[in-house]
Structure 1
Amino acid sequence: MEQIILIKNAQVLAPEPLGRRDVLISGNSIAAIGENFSVADSNLPVTVIDASEHYLVPGFVDSLVHFIGGGGEGGFATRTPEMQLTDATLGGVTTAIGVLGTDATTRTLTNLLAKAHALQIEGISTYCHTGSYEIPCRTVTGNITDDLILIDKIIGVGEIAISDHRSSQPTISEIRKVAAAARVGGMLSGKGGIVSVHVGAGDSLLQPLFDAVTGSELTVKQFYPTHMNRNNAVFESGLRFAKAGGVIDFTTSTTDYDLKHGEVAAAQALARALQAGIPAMQLTLSSDGNASLPIFNEDGDLLGLQVGQVRTLYQSAREAVQQYHVSLADAITAITAAPAAVLGLKQKGRIAVGLDADLVLLRHDDLTIDQVFAMGKQLVAAGQPLVKGTFEP
């Protein structure tokens, strides 16, 4: 028998405000949204949750996570660890997209896919991008388009690197060919088919993407650049990209060193972009969870390294509300509806009848995460995990 859960009297942000509503979950989907639902006369086993002191928001969508770790910029001992289930769920993340980064030799796409399947079995929805920093892209089948069409979990390409000393220094023609293959693969498979782009601090900024679009049939919407808060110059180039119609992403994992040396905090970047008139649906946050966060000097020498954390995704969204006066609806949009839309995940990122029952209850008083549901199953209660990963203590 399918599990039935009735969430009563929550202040619903879908992410647009719906007011106080009752939400009925049946199995893995949202079955109904309304007022004054009653199960008093029902013979069905129904779990009723009083959410009168909570906001109910969609489960968070993290568009950039290194499921199997990343890094290695300081040698083998600096390869970062794999993500565990509660790294996501305790941060409200119910959908995550796995990527490779600098290292596509000791970290492989087959390993990434296996970890994605493992995390899905444990409780959250997972997808992957084919490729890594380098072009030509590493693939599973030998072809970007084939990967997208034939492998269910692969929904895009990335994160390819530009304007970075760790990139493969791709030509404009190479970037175009990657984007074209992703677009065709996405069209034929009914997927987003976007190209996730790692943007470094190089002087070219986003110019390679503008050049790839110019003189071709591609549009900026084919590209999804991340790390757009790396410094103020990158941020300003991101605003230009967004004003041209693209979606830009701010990274929430950071270091004190980077913040002291010009990085714009993700919460502040979100607030500034909204103030600049960029629509909320063109702005996203991602954690870069389990990535290495290397600190390089001006000569490219590694000074130190930290590890990205998935939990920073919601921490930054909350900070945007509490410190930078972003509306809660806009902050939630940046980690739900906006990333789901750019990634082509039609069942994710919103609260509506028929969509997946990925939901988070936030306390009214301090906006802390209280309860988390993924595909209709409760994974977190009172801020504590009900379900852990297979190898978590």
Structure 2
Amino acid sequence: MNGLVIRNVRVYAPNSLGYKDIFIFGGKIIKIEDHVSCNVLKETGLVFRIIEGDQLLAVPGLIDQHVHFNGAGGEGGPLYRTPPTPLSLLVKAGITTAVGLLGTDGVARSLRELLMKARALEMEGITTKIFTGAYQIPSPVLTSDITSDIMLIDKVIGLKIAFSDHRSSHVSRQILQETVSQARVGGILSGKSGVVMIHIGEGSHRLRPFLDIVETTDIPIHQFAPTHLNRSREVLQEAVFWGREGGYVDISAGVSSRYGFISAVNPSQAVALLLKQGVAENRITMSSDGNGVMTVHNPDTGTLQPLIAPVKALFEEFTQMIREGIAIETAVRIVSTNVADHLCLFEKGRIVEGGDADLLLLSGDELSLHTVIARGEIMFEKGRVIKRGLFEEQ
């Protein structure tokens, strides 16, 4: 087993630690010190590599809690189904932990296939989890019910549903809160988060039914992870109130004008607005919606065309936030630390001794991706993918 020493790198853990040496061994961060003695390590007989961190920044690896890594889409018919995401696209985007989920199609898309894709990606080098469910209520499940999925299947950490959308199930509030309760109980009994990831559409109800549940039941607001909240200014403004009440607000990095979503508030601008209007920075998260696709009509031809959210959007918006004046520490929390805390991924989201060795090294000036380290293994370095999936072209 080989080790790794990163020397004299500026560390954001997410708080700034200044310039440090980092010693990694066995997939874990062993030491963060002003100086790690390589001579002492050599005397122990350890085999290790040294990376000179001068002019580089070290931040925790990105945690993407909403990525369709086994494919999504299909709303325009079979032609519009996106294929599974290869490992290389994730590591090139700085994603060291990915949470997979289903979308509109909970019929032809299978939770079993999603689970096996998650296991394959983990064997290839990154960390993966999944949400059970899909848009539909009652939710598709792997076992007999939502609670059992979360309790009995290692990779299942919560539930995915959709609401306030013409494609979602139009269920009563009673059924909705019973569904949420199943996820909460599953999380409590398994020691997991049991978070309910909610696709919020453009319908008129938006977040109000979930505010009602919080106000009239004992279900806490942090049980929910509503996403796509920058899809329009109207949805984002409602998200401000939700965030002020202590709820998590998830911004979709891949839903932006850059990728054809003309009604969306660009992600970095959405974050700035949330912070300005009083939403606590530890309640803001961002995910890619990577590999998700929606179909729209081309106004010139009348034909359907796909709008695809790429996984790389999460890293793009992370750096864009910093360029637009958001502190590096805050941006790191939004794409990594806050997500880890909400999903109870306790060894992720921070550069800390004893934590998983998931790190990104960035060039100091350009904020370009220099190195991706996942569980102590170098996956990407100096513009080149080092570790690819088994069936990718090498």
Give secondary structure in 1 for the equivalent of 2:99.
Answer: strand
Report what 1:208 is aligned to: 209
Give secondary structure in 1 for the equivalent of 2:188.
Answer: helix
Separation in 1 of the partners of 2:150 and 2:303?
A: 35
Report what 2:145 is aligned to: 143
The one of 132, 137, 146 aligned to 1:130: 132
Q: Quick check: 2:87–2:388 contact (8 Å CA) kept in 1?
A: yes
Report what 1:263 is aligned to: 264
Separation in 2 of the partners of 1:256 and 1:293?
A: 14
Q: Which amino acid aligns with 1:358?
A: D
Report what 2:22 is aligned to: 23
1:269-280 → structure 2 map (5 Å cutoff):
269-280=270-281
Q: Quick check: 1:255–1:306 contact (8 Å CA) kept in 2?
A: no
Cα shift readout 1:250-288 (whole Å, capped 9, x = no counterpart): 001136498674210111111111122222211111001
Q: Quick check: 1:73–1:302 contact (8 Å CA) kept in 2?
A: no
How many positions carry a matched residue from both structures?
388
Cα shift readout 1:38-57 (whole Å, capped 9, x = no counterpart): 11245322211110111100
Separation in 2 of the partners of 1:237 and 1:336?
A: 24
Separation in 2 of the partners of 1:328 and 1:259?
A: 27
Structure 1 residues 293 and 257, CA gap change in structure 2 (3 angstroms): farther
Separation in 2 of the partners of 1:263 and 1:128?
A: 26
Cα shift readout 1:24-75 (whole Å, capped 9, x = no counterpart): 1011100011111111245322211110111100011000011111111101
Q: Which amino acid aligns with 2:313?
A: T
1:1-393 → structure 2 map (5 Å cutoff):
2-41=1-40, 42-158=44-160, 160-254=161-255, 256=257, 261-295=262-296, 303-322=304-323, 324-393=324-393
Separation in 1 of the partners of 2:274 and 2:210?
A: 20
Gaps spanning 5+ residues in structure 1: where?
none
Q: Quick check: 1:250–1:286 contact (8 Å CA) kept in 2?
A: yes
Separation in 1 of the partners of 2:206 and 2:151?
A: 31
Q: Quick check: 2:229–2:239 contact (8 Å CA) kept in 1?
A: yes
Q: Which amino acid aligns with 2:90?
A: A
1:302 is displaced (CA, Å) by 8.3
Q: Quick check: 1:241–1:248 contact (8 Å CA) kept in 2?
A: yes
TM-score by length of 2: 0.95
Give secondary structure in 2 for the equivalent of 1:214.
Answer: helix
Q: Quick check: 2:257–2:263 contact (8 Å CA) kept in 1?
A: no
Structure 1 residues 260 and 36, CA gap change in structure 2 (3 angstroms): closer
Cα shift readout 1:61-99 (whole Å, capped 9, x = no counterpart): 000011111111101111111111011101110000000
1:293 is displaced (CA, Å) by 3.0
Give secondary structure in 2 for the equivalent of 1:19.
Answer: strand
Separation in 2 of the partners of 1:114 and 1:260?
A: 31
Provide the alpha-carbon RMSD of the alignment. 1.7
Identity %: 37
TM-score by length of 1: 0.95
Q: Quick check: 1:255–1:293 contact (8 Å CA) kept in 2?
A: no
Structure 1 residues 302 and 327, CA gap change in structure 2 (3 angstroms): farther
